[in-house]
Amino acid sequence: MKIRRILKWTARAILFAFLLAFLWGFIAYWTSTNDCGRSIPAGAERMKAVRYCEYGAPDDVLKIEHVEKPVPNDNQILVRVRAVSLRFFDGGMLGGSVPGRLLFGLRKPKNTCPGSDFSGTVEAVGRNVTEFKQRDEVFGVKAGALAEYICVRADRAVVSKPANVTFGQAATIPTALVALQGLRDTGRLKAGHKVLINGASGGVGTFAVQIAKAFGAEVTGVCSTKNLDLVRSIGADHVIDYTKQDFTKGDQRYDVIYDLVNNRSFAERRRILKPGGICVLAGVGGSGMRKETLFNMASSLTAWLRSQFSAEKFVNFGVDINKKDLGILRDLTESGKVLPALTKTYPFAETAAAYKYLETGHVQGKIAITID
């Protein structure tokens, strides 16, 4: 009798929890909204910005509209945006996948202006700002960057632009935070280490190859046939064409695997790690949600779990967007040790086309949208 009573109350508790979760989801869904219906105040200055008020395909939801021009507060700078680069997750923001809706808004997107990685010139500064002045060239990270102007806190993720790169190239540099922190902090990469980069020709991968070389590592890049020359040109010591050779079946052993694809099993990757080596789980194979994305995400999770019982560690990590590391990346770029692999640019009016290309999932290097 006691067991039956426990089972009965357990079932009731589970049902009650389910009903509460359903009610919360129902309310959250129908109260999810955004600022698309807000009118511009009379007398306010206007600017152009890319907006998406609903989820859907790029051609259907991305529109260039007039919105209110922002005004910097005492601690901000007003930046005239010259270029914005797209990250792998930007495509997923538009489509309205279940993970995307949980992050960006259940029924409608909360933030209606996409883009985050920008470069541009300082138009105005707040009265407490001493680091920047008008006409300074800068780059950094700020949500809602696909607009003619944005306001950015001067003490946050914005630094001076390297003089030896274009605005388009500078806008891609924040992507390298994923490579820098993944290799330096999570992978503990040191000079003389052997590192394999799976997905070496993509936006993060091209930076990872160069940063690993700057640290003094011996770098092996994995990519497809069409991208072999690109990966060699950015400094990889060895290049493996995954369409012709299985990199997990070779004799080479690595101190670090920096995996941007996560399409191989735990056992396959562990086999090519040196004893005590680290596999940095840095991506799931390109942008957007495709049929293999969930499989790669599951592969990443199971590899991490299994590595808790082995000497070789498989480690996930989160990116810390900070001013100090952006400064390190600027210095690496100015010294010529890192050069952004910008392979394609789109004008502001063709933003939807840039997103469609991003969603193919096999972008070589980085792409950027320029704003004249």
Q: What is the pLDDT of residue 35?
A: 77
**CA-closest candidate to residue 234, choices 201, 191, 195, 280:** 201
The domains located in the chain, with CATH, are: 46-174+321-370 (3.90.180.10), 176-316 (3.40.50.720)
Q: What is the pLDDT of residue 291?
A: 60
3-state secondary structure of 309: coil
pLDDT in tens, 215-248: 999 999 999 999 999 999 999 999 999 999 999 9
pLDDT band at 124 (very low <50, low <70, confident <90, very high): very high
Mean pLDDT of 171-198: 97
Q: Residue 332 and residue 340: Cα distance in Å, rounded?
A: 11
pLDDT in tens, 140-168: 999 999 999 999 999 999 999 999 999 99
Which residues have CB under 8 Å from 349's CB, separation 6+? 64
Q: What is the pLDDT of residue 372?
A: 86
More confident residue, 168 or 12: 168
Q: What is the pLDDT of residue 360?
A: 83
Q: Is the pLDDT of residue 93 over 90?
A: no
Say how many CA atoms lie within 13 Å of 276 toward its Cβ.
3
Whole-number percent of the chain with pLDDT over 70? 88
Global pTM reads 0.88
Kindly state the tokens that stand for 313. 């560690």
Q: Is the pLDDT of residue 74 over 70?
A: yes
Mean pLDDT of 306-314: 92
Element (H, E) at 18: helix 2-31
Q: Residue 367 and residue 372: Cα distance in Å, rounded?
A: 16
Q: Residue 245 and residue 264: Cα distance in Å, rounded?
A: 14
Q: Is the pLDDT of residue 31 over 60?
A: no
> Cβ(186)–Cβ(158) under 8 Å?
no
